[in-house]
Chains A and B, each alone.
Chain A
Amino acid sequence: MDEISTALSSRFIVTSVSSDAHMWNLVFLQLLLEERGAEVVNLGACVPDDAILAECRRQRPDVLVVSTVNGHGHLDGLRLIEQIRRDPELAELRVVIGGKLGIRGAENARFGSELVAAGFDAAFEAEAGMAEFESFLGGLEKGPSRELAMAGQEGAA
């Protein structure tokens, strides 16, 4: 977790998914992003899809960061991203997900590609995903568009 030199000027929404109550991951991500200069709204735990969509429409964040560790992320995350991408106002929103995405330990990795195929811009599995997340954040500074950030992400992965 080395400090990144570039400051983030982006606005983030950090959220859990509907069935996940874990909070320390959310507290941690909020601190991490704020220390980089980002503005963060933390929606907390067990957030219903509707509430996440409504907040995104209202606040228009640069990035929605979804964090979940209870093992339902591959189900809740999938349902959530399908709704986001169906919404004309949010179809272009940059959305990433991370944490423990399934209950299969090391085998959770496969859920990441499913989630990206369904519309997430990136998926980060557990602690190992932190380094990739750092390069994702680095990529954000280079350009505001979703395409550019994704290109940066591909370069890192």
Chain B
Amino acid sequence: MNALQSSTAPASGRFSRYVRRSREEGRLVVQPRMGFADTATMRRGLEAVRGVHAASVGTVTVDSYTRVNDHVSARRALDRGDDLNGYPVVAHGEEETRRLLGGVSGDDFPVQFRHGSALPRELFGTLARVGADATEGGPVSYCLPYSRVPLPQATEAWAECCRILADRPEPMHLESFGGCMLGQLCPPSLLIALSVLEGMFFRENGMRSISVSYAQQTDPQQDLEALAALRRLAAQWLGDDVDWHVVLYTYMGVFPRTSVGAYRMLEDSVRLAVRSGTERLIVKTAVEAYRIPTIEENVDALEFAAAVEAEERSRPPAAEAVRQTGIYEEALRLITSALAFGDDVGSALVGAFAHGHLDVPYCLHQDNANRSRAAIDPRGTLRWSDPGAMPVAASYHQGTAKVTARSLIDMLGYNERRFDREELVGAAVKGML
């Protein structure tokens, strides 16, 4: 295997320094997707994550009202004690959020705010002032899957928002969410291209501490190739002055329903992270298919991940070379063809989507062509069944069979079946004995 491509720029900011230090110590940074509405629970959650037996960073996941800038509804829910699906930063306000972080975030425990907002001005202003270490998103990855905001408007807002983060005395770290795009059924080349393009957009707008992302899909060999391609392209396109690393997301699509199945899915993602030299992993929990996890369920997932990591590192490195099926070349083509649509990365992204040269399968946003389609081949590899107007070739021909409600559910349930099957069959067999 080639030597791993890594950032050569010095680590800047608490978040990135922590990730860099962990990498040098040979430890994978693990992180939850944790978010609770009230400050006391959120605080206990951060403390619990700080205490896990792992190299952990903290997460505050923001609720959906804040994501769409409906701070009034978030405030009303807090006042009435209604359930929210995350921590409403703006509704809680600066002082309260500062209290949340005070004495728990630090050099040994940086905290990232995860949101999903196409227009994050107000949110970023608050985050910059309260001393958040990092956040995430991007002009495309937080617009198309998360809003009905026109892409040009989101791009403009994100350019301005990058400045807010970059201009802080202690600069914040920014992660692209481009490696997720609807969580499932988006082939690796497009995820990689979008993540690198968003990284370039961040840099163009003043950011120097960046992570690029990739979400586990349906085929470990394909994912390994994809992560190698992502590293290579990040090294080539982000520039020497950017301090960057790679973050992997445990599967972001329909999750296994059994606890054992969910843990096995998580286990696979940890092994993938270690084998690919990935610096940071964001985990999922055993209850992903059903509801928002408790503090304890998050802690269990993080400690399990750290245990699998240790076990994986104790194994001899794989003798097999990483498969080369052309993911790198395809992602490179998507990047270069997209860049031809504008003078800067922002306008190039807008132009490329307007012409369908970037096209996220199944995404209903009005600025996405929604002509491309992906499918899982019989070996479990995620492929283009129809690339729409994108400059890539269809690699899997399903004939004329149209996608139906049934076949869509079957594709979405691929990992669920893969990891639950043994558990359910096993239980049935046990029941017979």
The residues in A between 15 and 69 inclusive whose CB is less than 8 angstroms from any CB of B are 18-21, 23-24, 26-29, 31-32, 35, 42, 44-47
In the complex the two chains form, is B363's CB within 8 Å of A20's CB?
no
State the Cβ distance, B427 to closest chain A Cβ, in Å: 19
Contacts of B392 in A (CB 8 A): none
Query: Is A144 an interface residue, CB under 8 A from the partner?
Result: no
- Among the stretches A70-78, A89-97, A135-143, A149-157, the one at the interface with B is A70-78
Residue from B147, B363, B406, B412 whose CB has the most chain A CB atoms within 10 Å:
B406
Q: Known: A1-B406, A20-B64, A35-B405. Is A75-B145 also a contact (CB below 8 A)?
A: no
Query: Is B362 an interface residue, CB under 8 A from the partner?
Result: yes
In the complex the two chains form, is B82's CB within 8 Å of A75's CB?
yes
Q: Helix, strand, loop or mixed for chain A's interface? A: loop
State the Cβ distance, A148 to closest chain B Cβ, in Å: 26
In the complex, per-residue mask of B218-259: 1 if CB is within 8 Å of any chain A CB, else 0: 000000000000000000000000000000000000100000
Contacts of B148 in A (CB 8 A): 44-47
In the complex the two chains form, is A26's CB within 8 Å of B85's CB?
no
In the complex the two chains form, is B82's CB within 8 Å of A44's CB?
no
Contacts of A72 in B (CB 8 A): 64-65, 84-85
In the complex the two chains form, is B64's CB within 8 Å of A70's CB?
yes
In the complex the two chains form, is B406's CB within 8 Å of A21's CB?
no
State the Cβ distance, B222 to closest chain A Cβ, in Å: 21
Select A46's contact among B146, B254, B287, B290, beta carbons within 8 Å: B146
**Size class of the A contact interface (CB-based, 8 Å):** 20 to 34
Contacts of B406 in A (CB 8 A): 1
Query: Is A131 an interface residue, CB under 8 A from the partner?
Result: no
- Among the stretches B26-34, B67-75, B128-136, the one at the interface with A is B67-75
Contacts of B254 in A (CB 8 A): 24
Select B362's contact among A1, A23, A71, beta carbons within 8 Å: A23
In the complex the two chains form, is A19's CB within 8 Å of B291's CB?
no
In the complex the two chains form, is B364's CB within 8 Å of A42's CB?
yes
In the complex the two chains form, is A28's CB within 8 Å of B363's CB?
no
Bound form: Cα–Cα A45–B146 in Å = 8
Contacts of A46 in B (CB 8 A): 68, 146-148
Query: Is B404 an interface residue, CB under 8 A from the partner?
Result: yes
Bound form: Cα–Cα A141–B257 in Å = 35
Query: Is B116 an interface residue, CB under 8 A from the partner?
Result: yes
The residues in B between 385 and 409 inclusive whose CB is less than 8 angstroms from any CB of A are 403-406, 408-409
Residue of B nearest to A100 (CB): B291
State the Cβ distance, B268 to closest chain A Cβ, in Å: 22
Select B83's contact among A19, A29, A32, A102, beta carbons within 8 Å: A102
In the complex the two chains form, is A27's CB within 8 Å of B70's CB?
no
Bound form: Cα–Cα A131–B157 in Å = 44
Bound form: Cα–Cα A70–B145 in Å = 13
In the complex the two chains form, is A24's CB within 8 Å of B412's CB?
yes
Contacts of B183 in A (CB 8 A): 24
Bound form: Cα–Cα A105–B290 in Å = 6
In the complex the two chains form, is A23's CB within 8 Å of B83's CB?
no
Bound form: Cα–Cα A107–B147 in Å = 28
Query: Is A117 an interface residue, CB under 8 A from the partner?
Result: no
Contacts of B73 in A (CB 8 A): 19, 75
Residue of A nearest to B365 (CB): A44
Query: Is B310 an interface residue, CB under 8 A from the partner?
Result: no
In the complex the two chains form, is A27's CB within 8 Å of B84's CB?
no
Bound form: Cα–Cα A81–B414 in Å = 35
State the Cβ distance, B343 to closest chain A Cβ, in Å: 31
Q: Known: A19-B64, A21-B146, A70-B64. Is A45-B85 also a contact (CB below 8 A)?
A: no
Bound form: Cα–Cα A18–B148 in Å = 10
Select A19's contact among B65, B287, B363, beta carbons within 8 Å: B65
In the complex, per-residue mask of B134-146: 1 if CB is within 8 Å of any chain A CB, else 0: 0000000000011
Bound form: Cα–Cα A66–B273 in Å = 38
Contacts of B354 in A (CB 8 A): none
Q: Known: A19-B65, A19-B70. Is A45-B364 also a contact (CB below 8 A)?
A: yes
Residue of A nearest to B407 (CB): A31
- Which 10 A-B pairs have CB atoms at the shortest separation, nearest pair first? A105-B291, A32-B405, A31-B405, A19-B64, A44-B364, A71-B85, A21-B146, A105-B290, A103-B83, A103-B292
Q: Taking beta carbons and an 8 Å cutoff, which residues of A are in contact with B? A: 1, 18-21, 23-24, 26-29, 31-32, 35, 42, 44-47, 70-72, 74-75, 100, 102-106
Known: A23-B145, A105-B287; 20 extra A-B contacts, CB below 8 A, are A1-B405, A18-B68, A19-B70, A23-B363, A24-B254, A24-B412, A26-B364, A27-B364, A28-B408, A31-B404, A35-B404, A44-B148, A46-B146, A46-B148, A71-B84, A71-B291, A71-B292, A103-B83, A103-B84, A104-B291
Q: Give me 16 A-to-B residue pairs in the complex whose CB atoms sit less than 8 angstroms apart, sorted by A's number.
A: A18-B68, A21-B145, A23-B363, A24-B183, A24-B254, A24-B408, A24-B412, A28-B405, A31-B403, A31-B404, A31-B405, A46-B147, A70-B64, A72-B85, A75-B83, A106-B290
Q: Taking beta carbons and an 8 Å cutoff, which residues of B are in contact with A? A: 64-65, 67-68, 70, 73, 77, 82-85, 116, 145-148, 182-184, 254, 287, 290-292, 362-366, 403-406, 408-409, 412
